[in-house]
Copies of this chain bind each other. A is one copy, B any other.
Amino acid sequence: MSFTPSFDVHLLCTSALACERDSRVLYNDLNFVVKPGHLWHVKGRNGAGKTTLLRQLAGLHPVDTGEVLYSNNSIKMIYIGHKLGLKEQLTADENLCWLAGLDGSSTQSQRYAALEHVGLRGYEENPVAQLSAGQKRRVALARLHLCKADVWLLDEPFTSLDQQGIIDEIDWLRQHTRAGGAVLMTSHQDINLPNVKILDLGQYSPLLGECLPDKGSSII
């Protein structure tokens, strides 16, 4: 890890964050602080709003009510969602190359090392279209090892991984938080790590029909 951990500051926090979709309120009055070393496991049943929350934090979904505050403007985040953002025609290596190129640069040996790290040795030059579901997911996850970021936002990162893959990934999460990074992730499986913080969206959803206060203006 290239950045120096400083465990006292917070990386991001939300203040009275709420979200309404299609006139159903998903969560209301959500306040939490993400500090270096935190691993947040966002839980909730299907349709609870986990994906929506992660996208709001990443800045991909408009925040209408409440606020998301970042410690400073240069905080780096990586978001990996349901859609992996890989180009099917390009090889695994080429995909990593442009993804890494968005906020830095990488050498081929770094990329090969990252791919080996996620168990894709020998598949570096295969077009992603010819990989299986789990292998695609691994290519996307390889980015975590290539680009240094403070906060990882991972939406169901265990999907289609085999059992060894999940064990490996939990290990990466542990190392990242140890080194002063933070992770916010969703999953329907439990995570076997000691210091996991649970954010259960079920607790925050208000009664049906209750409505969010309208502030008159909105940031769309």
Contacts and interface: CB of A to CB of B under 8 A. Distances in A.
Contacts of A161: 46, 188
Contact of A164 (B45, B82, B138): B45
A189 to B, nearest CB: 8
Given A22-B126, A126-B22, A162 B188 contact: yes
Interface band, chain A: 20 to 34
Contacts of A56: none
A133 interface: yes
A130 interface: yes
A191 to B, nearest CB: 13
Taken together, the copies of this chain in the complex come to 2
A156 B132 CA distance: 12
A45 B162 contact: yes
A66 to B, nearest CB: 21
A80 to B, nearest CB: 14
A209 interface: no
25 contacts: A44-B162, A45-B134, A45-B162, A45-B164, A45-B165, A46-B119, A46-B132, A46-B133, A46-B134, A46-B135, A46-B165, A47-B134, A48-B132, A50-B132, A51-B132, A51-B133, A82-B133, A82-B160, A134-B188, A156-B160, A160-B188, A161-B188, A165-B188, A166-B188, A189-B189
